[in-house]
Amino acid sequence: MAWDLILWILNFFIVLSLLAVIMYQYGCLADLEGDHINSFESSASINACVIPEFVIQGTLSVIFLLTWHWFMFLLSVPISYYHIRLYMAKRHLIDVTEIFTSLDRDKKYLLVKLGFYLVIFFMVIYRLVETSVTLAMYEEEDYMVH
């Protein structure tokens, strides 16, 4: 049972890092839109985060699969599949020359991903709290018996 708690704590930090990456990318696009940063710096900053985000998301999906959390796995599969398709088509990086034409589309895409990761984040928080309470109740029962 303690392994479940460790798993959900690990998943909490993984999803938190995904949220941070998405917020950073969105901030770079917002700075570009507000003309606080040039297009080369913005695209370089965003592109540096893309592959780590894909790896972290894939790792999260694999963790859900290996620990038999089917609902969470099935929830994370579509975004993992989309990331794989983007990578295979070589459309995962933002082009410096086309960043202004795709700015609104990229911001909407990041907001959808942010919403998706927030749903997973709240589900992970729920499971973390549920596991913690269950573990504490079982330990209390064991303490009362002895």
Of the listed ranges 1-5, 91-95, 118-122, the least confidently predicted one is: 1-5
Domain boundaries, the chain: 18-118
Question: What value, to the nearest 5°, has the Cα angle with vertex 118 and ends 114 and 120?
Answer: 120
122-144 pLDDT, tens digit per residue, is 999 999 999 999 988 887 666 55
Mean pLDDT, range 75-102, rounded to an integer = 92
Of 30, 33, 44, give the one whose Cα is nearest residue 95: 44
Q: Are 42 and 31 within 8 A, CB to CB?
A: yes
Predicted local distance difference test score (pLDDT) of residue 70 = 93
Distances 46 to 77, 115, 128 between C-alpha atoms, Å: 23, 19, 31
Q: Are 121 and 11 within 8 A, CB to CB?
A: no
This prediction's pTM: 0.90
4-63 pLDDT, tens digit per residue, is 899 999 999 999 999 999 999 999 999 999 888 999 999 999 999 999 999 999 999 999
d(CA 83, CA 88): 9
Predicted local distance difference test score (pLDDT) of residue 142 = 61
